Structure 1
Amino acid sequence: MINAYTDYELMLRARTDDANLRARRLDALRAALTSGDANLIEPAAKDFVVRHRLLVDAGSDEYRELCALMTRAEIEGLQRTLERDRGDFTGTPKDPIVKPATGTAREAAAPGETIMELFDTYARENPNQIKPDTLAQARRDVGLFVEYVGSTFPVYRIDKKAVREWKALLLRYPIKASETKAFDGMKLAQIVKHNETVKKPTISTTTVNRYLSGFSAFCTWLTNHGYLTANPAAAMFLKKSKEKTTKPFTVDEMNALFKSPLFTGCQNDEAPRFWSKPGNVLIRDHRYWVPLIMLYSGARPAEIAQLGIDDVREDRGHWIMHITTEGEGDKSVKTDGSMRVLPVHPELVNLGFLDYHAKAKEKGDKRLFPLAERNERGQMIADFSRDFPRYLTKIGLKDGRGLSLYSFRHGAADALRRAGFLDEQFGFILGHTSGTMTQRYGTLPQGMLEQRVELVNSISYPGLMVDHLKSVSAVGEAA
């Protein structure tokens, strides 16, 4: 009974003891704030820094400021509790650090109308009929904007100020930030801040414009549906640099490339890390032919990789490649104007391209390059497009930006210019024209086909040595 009565007395005094404890802490915090002592608040400050992944070093001016602000906030909170202990519930914070938010700062999106919920509606409608891969990219772009403004940010408050501030962060956003461990768990602003220490290279002007493009298309839809009065991303795009980011190969670089293991024999054809090691394994699938066909046609890598067996055929004495969405298989082109007929260059015939085609047809293959695949985003041979520049780095041809699979396409354009043709005369060869039904079905008058043969056959690279590739192929077949 004595113990029970003691517990009862303690329970009665608990509220008073708690109030006394809070009063003593309030006095101590006031004294600490005046003297600049952070010991009392430091455990809470350290926990706050860790939980929110703040880039604040202990002992720095920013850290001391954080401790002071948190001290002021707790002082205001303790004062309210003591007032309420006395029955006074009218007290309000006087320190602006904890002043209740009012006006638009407290506004949140209505249920079902958050930015990402409306993007889902936009994606289902897909008013511009963009490809799934492009739509998925736009979702990531809009998601990065939401990461900056907050998930409950009302759509109608998206204005030029918000877009301008987001663009300013994008200009300092590091390349492949989401794949970099140093930025793991951080949000956009934190990543940009931390990169001042990590110093990763930032994304290009073209990439910033790509983010703005996907976001702007969504804002146009929001405007058309009455959520916004005008597109805030309009006229926000950056001027593109006139300097080319992709450059063509020099003849010396191509000679070194075509004498390297990927083309003459490597240690293993399954793992990219073994491509650069000499061996007796000959790669003769799309990884071999796509660069060569690009070199002598200017076609895009995905256009070549998706060719069907029937897309390569003889037409009135000339062998052609038909870039089209017609026929069997999962095919796509960049634009309607990309569908076109390309004559097969004599050098490709010399290297055995038609022999390769004949054997694939004899085996019953429906596609010319059956091992060429699309990734989960629908991109054709995206893995090879990514691995090829890395291969160039391994064999010493690439240092930084500049060379890629598209360097062959640029080289073909330059070769056509060297032959005396103007850009407007060969743009259709590269797929830079508007689409027509003639291009769609590949039925060309004789004169037009002869004109294309003349253009493609004019592609040449003085000093380029590729004849050895034919002899290597022959040895590989004999073996």
Structure 2
Amino acid sequence: MGRQTYLIRRGGAYSARLRVPLDLIEAVGRKELVKALGTNDPAEAKRLVWAVVDGWQRQFDALRNRAEMTDGDKGELVWSHYSGTLERDEVRRANTPQQADVDQALERAVERVGREGLDIHDPLQMLDAVMDADVMKNRRSGSGSVDAHVRQTKLADLRKHLATGENALVRHEIEAYLKQRNLTIDAVDRGELSRQLIRAEIEALQRTLERDDGNYGGEPADRLIKGLSGRVGAAKGESIEEVFEVFAAENVSGVAPDRINQMRRDIELFSQVAGKGFSVGQIDKKLVREWKALLIKFPVKATEMLAFKGMELREIVAANEKLKKKVLSDRSVNRYLSSLSALCKWLVNNGYLESNPVTGMSLAKEHNSTTLPFTTDQLNTLFNSPLFTGCQSADVWSLMAKEGNVLIRDHRYWVPLIMLFSGARPAEIGQLMLADVREEHGRWIMHITTEGDGDKRTKTKGSMRVVPIHPMLVRLGLIGYHAAQVKAGEARLFPKAVRNARGQMMAEFSREFSRYLTRIGIKEGRGISLYSFRHGVTDALRRAGYLDEQFGLILGHTQGTTTGRYGVMAHGVLEQRATLIDAIDYPGLDLGHLRDARRLLLASNLLKPQP
């Protein structure tokens, strides 16, 4: 379509115009779209028109990417129409004035007559005084009968429509549901669904009339609605949202709060496909398969993009067909699936499901997606780079990566080194209190635990452990740094290491460190990250002849113990762990310059230390 056809001029003002594609005319309900731009300036109109046309094109893309409405979708809509009618009736009844409300309003009217000296023979003055009481009285005595008449009239109309095939009273419900979930339905199924919705409302209105007589025990007589009550919509306490909170509170695996919060966000995304209030007992492979198919097309950080603001999962995926934003990796899709799988495993154990529908649904692992350890050359490049030897700016170190006279010696310097010689996770190191680093039986140790002051977390209960400090860290000055923090009156070893808005420790540094690795030429694509240090420790201990099960306790891969929590350890056990830590070695790695260069440069006042 030519550019000039997007603009039309009516009465001096411009409007945007777009012809609806032939295949979408039925869905849109018109052959042409027109929207006033509110300007008579041609230049301004040309600027404004493209945003309007782009919005229409997105709508077209969304319509073309609609999924076919399933039987499950139809059942959910019919049941929600039935239950929603009853819920609205209950709200109306709850808001009906009680006799006590009428009495209080009359008392206030009498007080006002006496207080203001109103003439009781003046109809206008008295009408004004008793207005509130009169309205309440009418609502209480008259609204019930009036409302009942309205419901009886609508019930009669619905029965006529059911007989004739008219769908005017329920058409808007179907259209709203289809739009919200980006679904489509053919004309035959639409007609049948309309009849089902009418049957649902007939049943619901009959229940409301029974309630007028004080009967709240009525059950659906229509077999369609009666059948849905057992399989669509969750009983109280059995919706996905409600049951997840029970799962999170129990936390039988003892996972970290950060992970629980991430799982909650993942399950909320799943609920956008299943439907709000969906029963956990109805989660099946078909639903999981549908979710996975959408996740594969889901843009990275979609919820943070203005382009997708206000959209849900299906709408975002449809909009991205045109925007072409980068989508989730297979690894990220699997992470979403693992969140649902953990919930479903708990559902099986607690009798909600017979089997885990997520089993076998994961995507094949991406080629070269596994985190790799650093090579010796990469380690030497890293530890000879500006972050460790002196940079131009402590604020933009990851972007500039240029040599200078600013010496960084906070968590950004120490966390990589501590990971290199302990295998500890970055968040575990970042949250260490000064009391967690201490001398036991003549050996300095790190106590990784949730005990003590502060908002401390570990991945699992087994992650709480005692890790001896490697001799190289002592030689590099970690104990001296610890003493300096004690002298400064700090409570934490790394006071500048903070949690982000989602409560994650070291998340920002982890991202910056990956960027830094790219800047200095170590990182290309996936594979290398802050966690590469942890994998390097595993390889170092294997080189030293240890089996994985022998050093799992060092990495926090064991069951929780009181030793891990409170850090009380016998001398012999500590010696065994010290032997493991001392075996961590990287042939060809030279860190002598960190200690020597620091001492020489500080002595010559060429470096500005950053505490």
Q: Does residue 43 in structure 1 map to residue 32 in structure 2?
A: yes
Q: Which has the larger displacement, 420-429 or 118-127? A: 118-127
* Correspondences of 1:283-362 after superposition (within 5 Å): 283-362=408-487
Residue identity opposite 1:174 in structure 2? P
Residues 61-92 of structure 1 show CA distances to partners (whole Å, capped at 9, x for unaligned) of x69xxxxxxxxxxxxxxxxxxxxxxx999364
C-alpha distance 405-90 of structure 1, shift in aligned 2 (>3 A): same
Q: Distance in 2 between matches of 1:113 and 1:208?
A: 28
User: Does 2:556 align with 1:431?
Assistant: yes
Instruction: Pick closer, same or farther for the CA change 1:164–1:285 going to 2, 3 Å.
Output: same
C-alpha change, 1:98 and 1:321, in structure 2 (3 Å) is closer
Distance 2:525 2:455 in 1: 34
The total of aligned residue pairs comes to 422
Opposite residue 378 of structure 1, the aligned amino acid is: G
The verdict on how the C-alpha distance between 1:49 and 1:92 changes in structure 2, with shifts beyond 3 A counting, is farther
CA contact (8 A) 2:399 2:519 kept: no
- Which of 336, 340, 344 aligns to 1:215? It is 340
Within the candidate set 242, 253, 261, 1:118 is matched to 242
Q: 1:160 aligns with which of 279, 285, 298?
A: 285
Matched, 1:265 2:390: yes
Alignment match, 2:59: 54
* CA–CA separation in structure 1 for the residues paired with 2:350 and 2:468: 48
CA distance in structure 1 between the partners assigned to 2:352 and 2:593 by the alignment: 63
Alpha-carbon distance between aligned partners in 1 of 2:53 and 2:240, rounded to the nearest angstrom: 28
Instruction: Give the match for residue 453 of structure 1.
Output: 578
Contact 1:53–1:186 (8 Å) recurs in 2: no
Cα distance in 1 for residues equivalent to 2:584 and 2:255: 34
CA distance in 1, matches of 2:364, 2:27: 49
List aligned pairs for 1:121-136, cutoff 5 A.
Answer: 121-122=245-246, 125-126=249-250, 128=252, 130-136=255-261
Asked if 2 retains the 8 angstrom alpha-carbon contact of 1:144 and 1:188, the reply is yes
On the 8 A contact 1:286/1:372 being kept in 2, the answer is: yes
Q: Deviations over 1:315-353 (max 9, x none)?
A: 233222222223333322222322222222221122111
Partners in 1 of 2:555 and 2:29 — Cα distance?
70
Question: Are 1:402 and 2:524 counterparts?
Answer: no
**Partner SS state of residue 297, structure 1:** coil
Offset from partner CA, 1:397-426 (integer Å, 9 cap, x none): 212111111111111111112222222222
Counterparts in 2 of 1:109 and 1:368: CA distance versus 1, 3 Å: same
Q: TM-score if structure 1 supplies the norm length? A: 0.74
Give the TM-score of the pair, scaled to structure 2: 0.60
Q: Would you say the 8 A contact 2:238–2:280 is kept in 1?
A: yes
Aligned residue for 1:99?
Answer: 191
Q: What is the SS of the residue equivalent to 2:568? A: coil
- Tell me if structure 2 keeps the 8 A contact 1:282–1:476: no
How far residue 39 of structure 1 moved from its aligned partner, in angstroms, is 12
Match of 1:246 in 2: 371
Say whether the 8 Å CA contact 1:253–1:397 is kept in structure 2. Answer: yes
2:358, 2:567 → 1: CA distance?
40
The offset of 1:170, in angstroms, is 1.9
In 1, Cα distance between equivalents of 2:341 and 2:62: 38
For 1:452 and 1:441, how far apart are their aligned partners in 2?
Answer: 16
Confirm or deny: 8 A CA contact 2:240 2:277 kept in the other structure.
no
* Correspondence for 1:377: 502
**Alignment partners' CA distance in 2, 1:317 and 1:57:** 67
Shift of 1:438: 2.7
8 A Cα contact 1:114 1:151, kept in partner: no
| Displacement after TM superposition at 1:241 (Å) | 6.2
Flag the 1:57–1:153 CA change in 2: closer, same or farther, 3 A: closer
2:112 matched residue in structure 1: none
Counterpart AA for 1:384: F
- Take 1:430 and 1:104, find their aligned partners in 2: how far apart are those partners? 58
Closer/same/farther in 2, CA of residues 299 and 444 from structure 1, 3 Å limit = same
- What SS is found at the alignment partner of 2:555? coil
Query: CA separation in 2, counterparts of 1:151 and 1:249?
Result: 46
Residue matched to 1:147: 272
Deviations 1:111-130 (A, max 9, x none): 97794652575367445365
Q: CA deviation at 1:471?
A: 3.0
Instruction: State how far apart, in whole Å, the 1-side matches of 2:554 and 2:28 are.
Output: 73
CA distance in 2, matches of 1:428, 1:127: 22
2:478 maps to amino acid: F
Q: Displacement, 1:104?
A: 9.3
- The corresponding residue for 2:88 is none
Q: Cα distance 1:149–1:258, how it changes in 2: closer, same or farther (>3 A)?
A: same
Question: Does the 8 Å CA contact 1:268/1:274 hold for their aligned counterparts?
Answer: no
Query: Aligned partner of 1:407: which letter?
Result: S
- Aligned partner of 1:365 among 485, 490, 508: 490
Q: Distance in 1 between matches of 2:442 and 2:321?
A: 62
Cα distance in 2 for partners of 1:95, 1:322 equals: 67
Closer, same or farther in 2 for the Cα pair 1:141/1:365, shift >3 Å?
same
Write the distance in 1 (CA, Å) between the matches of 2:426 and 2:26: 65
Q: Aligned partners of 2:433, 2:187: CA distance in 1, in Å?
A: 72
Provide the secondary structure at the position in 1 that maps to 2:438.
strand
How far apart are the structure 1 equivalents of 2:28 and 2:247? 52
Percent of aligned pairs sharing the same letter: 52
1:168 deviation in Å?
A: 2.2
Q: Deviations over 1:273-299 (max 9, x none)?
A: 555233222110111000001111111
Matched residue, 1:90? 164
- Give the secondary structure class of the aligned counterpart of 2:459: coil
Alpha-carbon offset, residue 214 of structure 1: 2.5
Name the structure 1 match of 2:70: none
Mind listing any 5+ residue stretches in structure 1 that lack a counterpart? Answer: 1-31, 64-86
3-state DSSP of counterpart to 1:358:
helix
Q: 1:155 to 1:262 in 2, by over 3 A?
A: same
Cα RMSD after superposing both structures = 4.1
**CA 1:152–1:384 in 2, change beyond 3 Å: closer, same or farther?**
same
CA distance in 1, matches of 2:62, 2:331: 35
Task: Quickly say closer, same or farther: Cα 1:104–1:132, change in 2 above 3 A.
Answer: farther
SS of match in other structure, 1:169: helix
Q: Separation in 1 of the partners of 2:285 and 2:28?
A: 43
Q: What amino acid is aligned across from residue 242 of structure 2 in structure 1?
A: L
Code of the aligned partner of 1:56: D
- 225-234 or 393-402: bigger deviation: 225-234
